[in-house]
Structure 1
Amino acid sequence: MGCVRLYFPEWTRANRSRLWHHLSAPALAHHLLRVARRDGIEQAILHRVMAGYLKGQRVRHYHPETAGMDHPQCLELIDRRERLESFLSSHAEELRKVRLVILSVALPSQVQA
């Protein structure tokens, strides 16, 4: 099993791939959730970040009335390492906009599901 965490600002947009996207490109987080589901990734979670910062930015704190578009987001994908690597390769152009962390998970043989 493996885990990939993608970190990026909330304002990050997906590439324009359809006619309607030229009017308003979709948010990268929602786009990646959709394509992860379509590509058969076992689990995808978009974490709500209460506070944090991305490289080169100041610390941001979440508040519903003042949330800025540069507030950090984290999308976590969990699946077999091979499938995650395939996903990352297939969506390499979109993933240039994110900071990526890959975690390997080794489970004892009696615990694997």
Structure 2
Amino acid sequence: MTTDTTALRLYFPISARASATRFWHRLSAPALAHHLINAARRSGIQQAVLHPIQSGYLKGEKLTHHHPEVTSMRHPQCVELIDSESALRKFLHDHAAELHKVRAVLLKCEIPLIPNRQAG
């Protein structure tokens, strides 16, 4: 039994900002993580979560550690979206302009949720 459930993980620095779409955004553009989660909801994506990252690094950057008082602007963030592969690819296409500096990883999930029953 296979499923079409797919996970899309988007990795980017905590300092990443979304494009300014409103007047007030020109003063302070929204955080990319917050923007992507809202965009996923508007697009009908089944599930979206922002994973807390304690330690890590992005390609070409130094290792950073999360600290509640001071966090490096290059500290990684991960937004994970769960839906069908086609819905996630459409989301990537629709938001390509904002994702040009984001590392995207698509993971197929083929673990059945209901165990196979043996004929007895």
TM value normalised by structure 1: 0.93
The RMSD of aligned alpha carbons is 1.3
1:70-81 to structure 2, matched below 5 A, reads: 70-81=74-85
1:2-51 deviation digits (Å, cap 9, x = unpaired):
11000000000001111111111100000001000111110111001000
Separation of aligned partners in 1, 2:6 and 2:107: 6
Matched, 1:4 2:18: no
Larger Rg: 2
What is the percentage of aligned positions where both structures have the same residue?
Answer: 54
Q: How many residues end up aligned between the 2 structures? A: 111
Superposition deviation, residue 110 in structure 1: 4.3
Deviations 1:74-103 (A, max 9, x none): 000000111111111100111112011111
Unaligned 5+ runs, structure 1 = none
Q: 2:18 is matched by which residue type in structure 1?
A: A
Q: How does 1:1-113 map to 2 (within 5 A)?
A: 1-108=5-112, 110=114
Describe the SS at the equivalent of 1:76.
Answer: strand
> Which stretches in structure 2 are left out of the alignment for 5+ residues?
116-120
**In the aligned structure 1, how far is the partner of 2:18 from the partner of 2:61?**
21
Provide TM-score, normalisation by structure 2.
0.87
For 1:109 and 1:61, the matched residues in 2 are separated by 35
After superposing on structure 2, the runs of 4+ consecutive aligned residues of structure 1 that deviate more than 2 Å are 107-111
Three-state SS of the structure 1 residue aligned to 2:71 is coil
